[in-house]
């Protein structure tokens, strides 16, 4: 059992992720600008988190946790301070709080901007991908965190299949519940540390796909 902190704890992905983490026996601290919107479950503690705040304040909220998830997103409304610099602040806060495990929700091909124009869904969110490009690069190149970066295709509200394909591929989609299951499953999967994992819908059970990485 781990105690994890979820940055962006009231969002769509976070809600599904919290369900999975709690089902696996973990404790969750859910940090959000509006913590009252966090799903209510045993073992879940909502806290107010402002990514516009300073690193020291964020680090104080991280005290005592084993891992950090960044699944926050401004949906294009606050890309610089939330999706880019907000993410960087949480990485710096993780270091300050002595936390090594850090799991980032990103976007397909976020580290390969030459690909964005090839896929209409990516071209439509270019500004978001720019923010993720800088956040992902900082995580990989400017920290010593035990990171895993999950880069899904376009998120959908469809029912999950619990099956995926990992790796590069054509523009595709991922149901939000499947993205959450992957995020939860990599928490203790040591073979995912320091890896960037692209995912799409597929035919392989999530646990099997992670084992084969």
Residue 15 CA to residue 166 CA, distance in Å, equals 23
174 and 161 in contact (C-beta within 8 Å)? no
Residue 84: helix, strand or coil by DSSP? Answer: helix
* Token output for 176: 């939000």
Query: What are the start-end ranges of the E strands in the chain?
Result: 3-7, 27-32, 44-48, 67-70, 101-105, 146-152, 154-156, 163-166, 173-175, 195-201, 204-205
96 and 59 in contact (C-beta within 8 Å)? yes
Alpha carbon dihedral 88, 53, 3, 158, in 10-degree steps, equals -70
Q: Considering only CA atoms, which of 128, 176, 184, 183 is closest in space to residue 153?
A: 176
Residue 86: helix, strand or coil by DSSP? Answer: helix
Just list the catalytic residues. 128
């Amino acid at each position: 059992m781990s105690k994890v902190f979820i940055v962006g704890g009231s969002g769509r992905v976070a809600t599904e992720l919290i369900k999975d983490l709690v089902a696996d026996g973990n404790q969750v601290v859910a940090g959000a600008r509006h913590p009252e919107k966090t799903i209510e479950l045993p073992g879940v503690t909502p806290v107010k988190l402002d990514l516009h705040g300073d690193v020291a304040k964020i680090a104080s909220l991280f005290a005592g946790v084993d891992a950090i998830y960044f699944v926050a997103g401004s949906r294009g409304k606050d890309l610089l301070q939330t999706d880019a610099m907000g993410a960087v602040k949480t990485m710096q806060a993780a270091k300050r709080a002595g936390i090594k495990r850090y799991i980032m929700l990103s976007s397909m091909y976020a580290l390969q901007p030459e690909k964005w124009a090839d896929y209409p869904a990516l071209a439509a969110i270019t500004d978001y991908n720019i923010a993720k490009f800088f956040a992902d690069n900082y995580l990989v190149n400017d920290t010593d965190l035990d990171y895993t970066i999950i880069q899904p295709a376009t998120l959908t509200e469809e029912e999950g299949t619990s099956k995926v394909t990992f790796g590069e591929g054509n523009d595709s989609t991922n149901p939000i519940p499947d993205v959450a299951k992957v995020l939860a499953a990599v928490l203790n999967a040591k073979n995912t540390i320091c890896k960037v994992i692209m995912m799409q819908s597929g035919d392989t059970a999530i646990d099997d796909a992670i084992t084969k990485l």
